[in-house]
Amino acid sequence: MTVRDERALRDLVKSDRVHRDFYTSPDVFDLEMERIFARAWLLVGHDSQVPNPGDFVTTTLCRHPVIMSRHRDGRVHVMFNRCSHRGAQICTEPRGNAKRFECPYHGWVYDTDGRHAGAPYPARYADGFLKAGGFDLAAVPRLAIYRGFVFASLGAEGPGLDDFLGPMKSHIDAMVDRAPGGEVEASAGAFRYRFGANWKIQMENQNDLYHPMFTHASTTARDGTQFRRHGAEDDEAGRVRLLKENEALNEQWEELPVGGHRYGHTYMGMFPMNKGQSGPVHERYRAAMEARYGDRAERAMAVRFHNSIFYPQWSIQYLTQHIRLMNPVSVDCTENVIIPLRLKGAPEEMWRAALRSNNNSHSPAGMVMSDDMEVWVRCQNALTSPGNDWVVFARGASEEQADNRGSFEVRGTSEANARHQHRAWLGYMCGEA
């Protein structure tokens, strides 16, 4: 039996559990790269990482080195970082500004849109050989940008970005619309880390409201509040209450909406906070928002979600203001890139608070992230052992009923979102997506 056999795939995913091979089988991983990661739209980054003509960043997209650059005509390009001559990686700087990209091996040069711009000593090539073309840097098969978010697809076939995002577009809007300037900016660099666990373990974790009070117990103060996640001026604003005074679960958590949309995307509502934002900085922010949005300002300012996961590869965290790219490296290794987003036109103090919030919770030493990575690695390590083949996702089993557009919403500590991801996984893997 091979994992390419549809029955074998279906045997891995039951309605309320998945087989441990789902996380540990290298064959399953290879097939995922082919059937999920080469079909879905993946996030490369944000176009504000390359604000000026000639700006570029290098990154990896599903294990392939790529360059994202802005050409002199202002357009953003994403191309494989591989010379068309004999295959050398052209650019190893993490970021910079270039007039042209020059290959270190034999000096072939490329324009910042990937166009082949010449080879040294061309006389030894047959007449017209170089001109005949085919030597541009290979662009990603499909590229699309929505509100500055740069997406690429490694497959020429598959749903268009509009269809792929569906209602999740409004989850991008929910982040970007909070900026009085109507744009977000990735101007603070990024954190990068890797951990020894399968990519799906992180996917299942991010909307999991069942875990914070245990996994993150060490950040919970005696009164049941977690450290301040965000808040420009008021120490209490942004404190997350995980527990009641008596260390019981704070029932407000069970009220939080959690839900999903087609293609395995999921989201979770905003955490119950002690109180909203207030104070002079917030008033300045409100004024800026009202100037832009008029009576729609209140709605645009609201932080409606804690996070939204764009299956299979990235997420937005709203209060902390970052995007998280989650790139699979191997069956038991995943690499994260955390990119904080600045709300253009919002008071500087808010940005400073958001940046510090990112440092505190999501740096490699982050007080939230380090707990999460620890438990994910423990899952991966233990799942290799025989004796119990199943991993259980039965909280609130089968309560999620998708509507005719494939969307559902339930509440609280249900494991519905993970089950939704599992169904999407089967869809991709069995060629239905």
Partner 1 sequence: MRDEIEKFLFREARLLDERRFEEWMNLFAEDGYYWVPAAPGLEDPYDGVSIFFDDRAVMKTRLQRLDHTRIHSQKPASRTVHTVSNVEIDGDYGAVGEILVRSAVTMLEYRLEKQTAFAGRCRHLLRIAEGGGFEIAWKRVDLINCDGVFETLSVPF
Region 62-91 residues binding ligand FES, contact defined as CB under 6 A = 83, 85-88
Closer to partner 1 at the Cβ: 340 or 347? 340
Minimum CB separation of residue 92 from ligand FES in Å reads 13
What residue 85 binds from Fe ion, ligand FES, partner 1, none (CB within 5 to 8 A, per partner kind)? ligand FES
Region 102-121 residues binding ligand FES, contact defined as CB under 6 A = 103, 105-108
Minimum CB separation of residue 225 from partner 1 in Å reads 11
- Among the listed residues 270, 354, 248, 263, the one whose alpha carbon sits nearest the alpha carbon of residue 313: 263
Binding window for ligand FES (CB under 6 A); candidates: 36-44, 99-107, 273-281, 374-382: 99-107
In whole angstroms, what is the distance from residue 90 CA to residue 80 CA? Answer: 9
Closer to Fe ion at the Cβ: 75 or 395? 395
204 touches Fe ion by CB under 5 A:
no
Region 373-392 residues binding ligand FES, contact defined as CB under 6 A = none
Minimum CB separation of residue 197 from Fe ion in Å reads 13
Minimum CB separation of residue 94 from partner 1 in Å reads 7
Minimum CB separation of residue 90 from ligand FES in Å reads 7
- Contacts to partner 1 by CB under 8 A: 94, 188-195, 214-215, 217-219, 227, 335, 338, 340, 351-352, 355-356, 358-360, 363-365, 367, 369-371, 373-375, 378
Minimum CB separation of residue 215 from Fe ion in Å reads 5
Q: Which of 102, 185, 372, 415 binds Fe ion (CB under 5 A)?
A: 372
With CB under 5 A, what is the number of residues at the site for Fe ion? 1
Minimum CB separation of residue 175 from partner 1 in Å reads 18
What residue 292 binds from Fe ion, partner 1, ligand FES, none (CB within 5 to 8 A, per partner kind)? none
Closer to ligand FES at the Cβ: 3 or 91? 91
Closer to Fe ion at the Cβ: 216 or 342? 216
Binding site for ligand FES (CB under 6 A): 83, 85-88, 103, 105-108
